[in-house]
Structure 1
Amino acid sequence: MLRLCILLLSLYCFSAQASPLWVEAEGSATIINGDLGNARRSAVAQASELAALQAAAYISTTTEIQGGILQMDNLRMSSLGRLSNVEVIDERIQGTILKVRIRAEVSVDQGCPDGRAEVAYRKSLGFTAFPIQHPQQAATGALQNAATELPNLLARRLSHETGLHTILATHLSLHPNLQQAPTRQLADGTLTQATAHSETTQVHFLISGVIRDLSQANPIGPREPNVVTDLYRRLDYASQHHLRQFALDLFIHDALTGQLMFQQHYQTQGRWNAREKPLGFASAGFWQEDYGQAVERLIRQMSQEISEQLRCQAFSARITQTEGNRVWINAGSLSGLKPGDRLSVYRRQTHYDTLHQPYSELQNARVTLTLDQVEASFASGTLNTQTASSVNIQRDDWVRSH
């Protein structure tokens, strides 16, 4: 069999140091029920994807020829560029179609910090609830749904990233004590609860958070009315008196071991002129507020940093069965696996801390699994040893990409 691999790389004036490039692109979206805000976001998202592809894209064509007959011809395009400083430079409406033109700064991914290439396999992210530490602050504007809508928005953004698969589990909260969050080591019970709903697409990472602050500079509350002051503040919509905070802590845990991998505090503010209108978080009216636009920029930053943290992390899968030297795992072609792939085998060991709480540790077994049968959601292969039992490999152990 002859395999011909053709790689065309177009980097449009990029230097070896990945210097940024400004590009322009156009996107469009249908205006549904007069909702211009949602149409604008969809059009900008489409234009952003086109900008990234325009700036740095590759076409990988793999062709297999056997006996002079074409057996396979796969075409794949993937963006190598990351966008920042996106601005709309033109916007027009044609009938029910909104068209926007954006200008964005694009830089090319240069692989992982240690020089390794990015992991090609698809990793699953589980998004749990982002509870509000001070629920009374969410009353103004009816922003209580931020606890579930914020992780939903992050999951939706990251679902478009190459190599990431997002799963919503916003009915779960990983942090029973919000004041003391994060938990540096999730207990096995918490991990089981968070991942039990997803056997076929095993969650590799758990994304959680706590919304710390939704306070206003001058909250509306019971007081003696002052006609002059109230009228002035209502008319002076750009005043600092209308500022409202949005702050949260974001956490990423390894779903295999429960260990905290990443935490970051995010904070922004914007003018809140809706007063006591029950807009709800992430509604059309919310996004029209200066406060909503500030939150949207923060969500964009958060999604970029989550992607940056996880794109170079190893891919993992759980061992579901062993028989002799044959091993089955709960990941397959949907995760990017293919026959011939080699994965390292890890034993999962349970330890107990000083409070007798269990936690997991992965120990490299120094054994390799080579896949020879790959289905959509599972795969199997053979170990480079006589039997799995001879090296104490069993169900619920793990494999990881090299």
Structure 2
Amino acid sequence: MMSTPVKLLLPALLGLYQLPAQAQWYETTGRAPIRQGDEATARAQATEDAVKRALLFAGVSVRSVQQVTDGLLTQESLQVESSGEVQNVQLVTEATRDGYFEVTIRADIEPAEAVCPTLAYRKKLLITPFRLANPEQAIVGDLFNIGKVSGKVFSSKLEEVGHSSWPAPYNNPVDVTALSYLERKALQQQLGARYILTASIDDVSLGGSTGTNWTFWTDADRDRYYHLQVQVFDLAEERTVFSQKYQTTSVWTFRKSTEMDPSYHRFWETTYGQAAERILNAAAMDVEEAIRCEPLQAEVTQVKENQVLLSIGKAHGAQIGDTFKLVHRREVPDSFGRIQPLLAVTELTVRITQLSSEAAWAESVGSQLLANIQAGDLAMPTRQPVDEFGDAVDATDD
């Protein structure tokens, strides 16, 4: 039988409002399951989710989430003096629907920090299969697919909140720490991605009994763990961009013989499934924030007179007219005999003239010659727009 796709439980961003004086209002909706009739907790979780979504979309840090959430739970309008980012937050609506608490907020957000130059672009992020560390723990409940399905749910969450990342499946398990420079380079060139995410579900075991079970034909309710570990690795610079462990515990109310395959929506409607989904949602938001200002480099794949073909396109957020600085890349051995890249930024600037999904033709600016540029060199987005001669243009000029 075909498995039922997991339904997303958290809605996407609803809209963006712009007011005079360059104020930007973001309206977002968050949802959280109501467990055992506890609407207060569900309301707090839904509010926190809505605040995180607004901050992520605005491109600022989510460090103010708890302060803003606590304020919204006690009043309908909140001025945040200390943040310098969240100017005003208003509670628009709240309601219960189909066992979930929904909260819609409207936030006036003005980033206090300099916007990173790559914020306008989406970095392709390879998502490897989530590994189940101890398969024997999955026997009770038939949870052997929980790693595979958790990876798909995570990718869906990241697509939903991701404005700086672009998840792409990579179906081969990989130990990124064991890759050589040439292997890492091959992955980047073949798949067009600099970043790769690996994850493991380290614990889905059963804990002790919870509550009292008076019926002899059922098993006692027990706690069950869901421990997730996520890492994001930079293939170009051989470094860990993000690493975090997540842990939750929820009640498991089923008999040992009951099958609750995570491939089916029935699993994600359970208290345990909802707790796992909340962990995956939190991880997706953390990854999105971690990768937001990470470097973006397009590779030069072809040179033709005064044009270069770049490995960046519409899917990355590139647009006609975007400008890039060209960078020479050489490979030199270090003192241990390992090959390392040596990068040298040139004075050459190119502007995108044609676009496809994952590629772009860019033409030299100011009639600059590209004779020294070759396939394998790189291109980095410029911080400011440039004129026809390759000089920076002040964005504030009329």
TM-score (normalizing by structure 1): 0.65
Question: 2: distance between equivalents of 1:188 and 1:380?
Answer: 28
Deviation, 1:296, is: 0.8
Inter-CA distance 210–372: structure 2 relative to 1 (3 Å threshold) = closer
Aligned to 2:376: 396
Counterpart position of 1:262: 242
SS in 2 for 1:315: coil
Counterpart of 1:369 in structure 2 is 349
Gaps of 5+ in 2: 32-44, 48-93, 383-398
Of 97, 108, 128, the residue aligned with 1:91 is 97
Distance 1:193 1:304, change over 3 A: same
Q: Distance between the aligned counterparts of 1:329 and 1:187, measured in 2?
A: 24
Q: Displacement of 1:329 after TM fit?
A: 0.7
Q: Which residue in the other structure is 1:312 paired with?
A: 293
In the alignment, which of 177, 195, 207 is matched to residue 197 of structure 2? Answer: 207
Distance in 2 separating the partners of 1:189 and 1:340: 33
Instruction: State the identity as a percent.
Output: 18
1:337 to partner: Cα distance: 2.4
TM alignment of 1:1-400, pairs within 5 A: 42=8, 44-46=9-11, 48-50=12-14, 53=15, 56-58=16-18, 85-86=45-46, 89-91=95-97, 102-104=102-104, 110-111=110-111, 113-116=113-116, 119-160=119-160, 161-169=162-170, 171-175=171-175, 183=177, 186-188=179-181, 190-191=183-184, 194-195=187-188, 198=191, 202-218=192-208, 234=218, 237=221, 242-276=222-256, 277-350=258-331, 358=339, 360-361=340-341, 363-376=343-356, 377-382=359-364, 387-390=369-372, 393-400=373-380
**Inter-CA distance 338–107: structure 2 relative to 1 (3 Å threshold):** same
**Is the contact made by 1:186 and 1:259 (CA closer than 8 Å) also made in structure 2?**
no
Where structure 1 has 5 or more consecutive residues not aligned to the other structure, the ranges are 1-34, 60-76, 93-98, 176-181, 220-227
- Does structure 2 retain, via aligned residues, the 8 Å contact 1:207–1:253? yes
Counterparts of 2:208 and 2:169, CA distance in 1: 35
Which residue number in structure 1 is paired with residue 38 of structure 2?
none
Question: Once the 2 structures are TM-superposed, how far is the Cα of residue 123 of structure 1 from its aligned partner?
Answer: 2.2
Structure 2: which amino acid aligns with 1:400?
M
* 2-structure distance, mates of 1:233, 1:218: 19
Matched position secondary structure for 1:144: coil
TM-score (norm 2): 0.65
The root-mean-square deviation of aligned C-alpha atoms, in Å, is 3.9
Which amino acid in structure 2 is aligned with residue 164 of structure 1? S
Q: Which has the higher strand share?
A: 1
Q: CA deviation at 1:264?
A: 0.9
Q: What do residues 266-323 of structure 1 show as CA deviations (whole Å, max 9, x unaligned)?
A: 1111111224322222522211322111111111111111111122233321110124
The aligned length equals: 311
Q: Deviations over 1:21-78 (max 9, x none)?
A: xxxxxxxxxxxxxx9x96xx55x534x533xx2xx5349xxxxxxxxxxxxxxxxx99
